[in-house]
Every structure is written in C-alpha cells, then in structure tokens.
Amino acid sequence: MAISIAGGVRPGKVIEIERRLYTQLIVGKHKTNAMLDELSVELEESVNKLDIERQALTLRLEKQAKERNVYLEVSAQLTRTVSNAIEHQLAHPQMILDGSGIGDDQILLLDLLLKPDLNLNRLRPIIQSISWLSRDLINVINSPVSGHRRPKNADVQVTDIKLVLNYIGMENLRLLVPYFCLRHWLPSGNANLLWISRKLWRYSMISAIAAQALAELYNQQPSLAYTNALMYQFSTSIILSLSGLAFENTWGTWLREASHSREKQVYDAVMATDFPAQAVLDQVIQHSHRLNWQLLTLLKFEDSPITLVLKELDHDYHFTELSVDAAIVAKASCYAKVLLLEEQQQIDPQEKRIMFDYYQFSAEEIFRLKQQNFRKLDLC
C-alpha cells in the first residue's frame, strides 16, 4: 500500500459524502432485509404496525390545527428531554460503559484472539463466562442451516462448550467472536431502532469483510483488520443502544401519564412522536470516533492494537499519514459507504471518484473487493 508524505486533512467533499452515509443509516427511512439470522419476523411486524399507526396519527394531527399545535409542542418537548439525557450520558464515558453493560472480559477476548500463538484452553473460561456469546457459538454448530462442519450425527445437539470450540476452530473464532460481539452491542428488541440497527449492521459487515480482503492482499493480519473494522462502529452501536433505551423509557412514561390523566390530545402527540434520529446522528458524528478508543482506555486496554488503530482514526490525519493497519480500515469503510450510497442512488460517479481518489484505491484493490460476498462470513 503506497504511503506518501503529503499532509492535510480530509477534503470537505469527502467529509460531506461520509456524513451522507451516516444520515442514510440513522435518519433515512428506507428499510433493508435482515442479514442471515438477524432479528425476528415478529419484531419486524410490530415495527411496521407502529409505523402505520404513527403515520395515521400524524396525518390526522396535521389536519386539525389545534391538535397539531399540541403535537408540535409535546413532540418537541419529548425530543428535547431525550436529547438532553443522551447528551448528559455522552459527556461521561464511565456512565456510558456502566449503562452499556460491556465488561473488560469481552474486550480481553477480542484482544487475545489477535495473538498468533493462542490456544482454545485460554479462551474457553472467558467464553463460558459470557452467556450470550456461549449461546451464539453453540447455535453455530447446532443450527440446521449452518454450513459449518458439524458432528457426524447431525441429530445430536452439542452443548459442551469445549466441543463447540473444537468444532469451530481458532481461525473461525477470530471471525465469529467479533461478529457476535458487535451484533450484541447493537440495539435489539427495540421497535424504534430496527431499521437503523439492520443498516448499521450491514455497513459494519461490509466494512469488515472488505478490510479482511485488503489485509490479505497486502499480507497483513486479516483478523486484526476485520476486528478493527467492526470496532470502528463500537461506540456508534453503544450510542444507539443507550439512545433507544432513553427514548423508550421517556416515551413509555409520558404515554402512561397521559393515559392516566385522560389527556387524549397529549397521548396522541406522544404516540406520534418518532425516535429523534437527527439528534442522535449529531451525537454520533460528534462523539463516536473519540469514544471508540476512550471507552477501551477506561477498560484498561489502552495498549491494545485495536485501541491504537481506533485512536489513530480519531485524529484528523490525511489518509496518506495513516499507518497501514489504520489505512486498511479507512479504505474498507470508504468502500462500504460508496457501495451503500450507490444502492440508494445517493452518490454520483464524480463523487465516487473523489472518494476512491482520496483513499488511493488501485484497480487491483477495487477488483479484489468486487469479488467479495458481502452477505455472509466466509468460514473455514
């Protein structure tokens, strides 16, 4: 990968295009299909029902001037309350960690998986202590749709974690553990964030698979590039989860209070108020890159190769000043942004060229990335 000595920050056009992608992910109303085993049909049906109900309420409120004024006032106040709560949390990184439930065991696991001489015996007690991760890995082996190798008797359900880890193997764990960690950190079971979660998850996976392919092309460590690319959305996932929880709690409390006091206009106004996606987007843009490494530092992983790359990506370096590890993540992230913006017809050929020129894509890199299957992990 060619690295020159040119300096300077990212061009304004590059920044604008990159923010456009985050706007599509967080604020955009388009829906996307689930990837592989993502999210239940029941939740999707609930989300669609809630969307239809809100749209009908909003249309009715818009036709009635008095009720519309109540709606605008209540909705603005509710949004402000939620936004203030989110801002307060984001100003205190330790509060974010406490609210997220992320412990040092999860980051230790990611860090250990980057070591070339690691054995399964070192990993097993840590994985066993994380119940949701153990369950996800057991499901990999026992799922009838899994293409992974399974025990000879396919009817036997494997529940012993030692056997599960042996069947999966170290190289696949380097892919699956970061995969399941980020998926767990994303908002789940929250009707207000279903489409946002799916879009961010797809963006994250495209970035990670692209980073892995670029690392292989340049004889770098694929698992490091893959993990770094997923962890680039670490704090964004947490911000979304905490924001969704703050909105759900406040929204639910206001609904109950309006119902109890029999204030139908207020109840309808609260019911019609949507998740404050624009306010959350602003917080993500302002805080996410800094929080990526700050949260890891609070967990005592300041010397981890993951933390070092995320900290480098937070600085407003020109692309040509990045280390190879950071440059791979930046390139992969750029490719994912362009791909998703193209799908939504939100980027024109000239803008695509600007992006690829700034991140110095070669014809070989673009060819390699076009060959990738971004819909599933390529397990051994």
DSSP per residue, 109-139 = HHHHTT-TT--HHHHHHHHHT-HHHHHHHHH
Query: Which domain covers residue 319, as residue numbers?
Result: 12-370
CB 114 within 8 A of CB 227: yes
- Distance, in Å, from the CA atom of 215 to the CA atom of 309, rounded to the nearest integer, reads 14
Instruction: Please give the Cα distance from 169 to 189 (Å, whole number).
Output: 30
Whether residue 155 lies inside any domain: the answer is yes
* pLDDT given at position 34: 58
DSSP code of residue 80: H
pLDDT band at 145 (very low <50, low <70, confident <90, very high): low
How many C-alpha atoms does 357 have within 13 Å on its Cβ side?
A: 9
Which of 151 and 296 is assigned the larger pLDDT?
296
Asked whether 59 and 373 are in contact (CB, 8 A), the reply is: no
The number of folded domains in the chain is: 1
Q: How confident is the model at residue 272 (pLDDT cuts 50, 70, 90)?
A: confident
> Quick one: pLDDT at residue 2?
40
Please provide the DSSP assignment of 19-53 as one string.
HHHHHHHHT-----PPPTT-S-HHHHHHHHHHHHH
CA pair distance 169, 114, nearest whole angstrom: 14
Q: How many other CB atoms are there within 10 angstroms of residue 19's CB atom?
A: 14
Determine, yes or no, domain membership for 375: no
3-state secondary structure 273-323: CCCCHHHHHHHHHHHHHHHHHHHHHHCCCCCCHHHHHHHHHHCCCCHHHCC
pLDDT of residue 137: 95
Residue 263 lies in a domain: yes
In a domain, 46, yes or no: yes
Which range has the top average pLDDT, 18-32, 113-127, 137-151, 184-198? 113-127
- The model carries a pTM of 0.88
Determine the average pLDDT of the residues in 352-379. 94
Q: How far is CA 316 from CA 7, 158, 310, 311, 313, in A?
A: 10, 48, 12, 10, 7
- Does the residue 144 lie in any domain? yes
Q: What is the pLDDT at residue 60? A: 67
What pLDDT sits at residue 3?
35
pLDDT over threshold 60, residue 133:
yes
| Higher pLDDT pick, 324 / 52 | 324
Residue 347 lies in a domain: yes
- What is the tens place of the pLDDT at every residue in 216-253? 999 999 999 999 999 999 999 999 999 999 999 999 99
Q: What is the per-residue pLDDT for 31?
A: 66
Instruction: Give yes or no for residue 273 having a pLDDT over 70.
Output: yes
pLDDT tens string 340-361: 999 999 999 999 999 999 999 9
Q: Over 80: is that where the pLDDT of 65 sits?
A: no
Average pLDDT, the chain: 88
Give me the pLDDT at residue 379, please: 84
Q: Which token pair is 159?
A: 């529940």
With tokens 């987007």, the residue in question is: 281
pLDDT at 310 over 80: yes
Contacts of 298 (CB under 8 A, 6+ apart): 93, 94, 97
We report the CATH number of the domain holding residue 329 as 1.10.3210
The reply to whether 379 falls in a domain is no
Task: Assess whether pLDDT exceeds 50 at residue 7.
Answer: no
What DSSP state is assigned to residue 186?
S
- Taking residues 190-214, what's their average pLDDT? 94
Nearest Cα neighbor of 161 from 132, 137, 130 is: 137
Position 192 scores a pLDDT of 85
Q: Looking at mean pLDDT, say which of 38-47, 187-196, 207-216 comes out highest.
A: 207-216
Place of tokens 């309350």: 81
Query: Does any domain span residue 245?
Result: yes
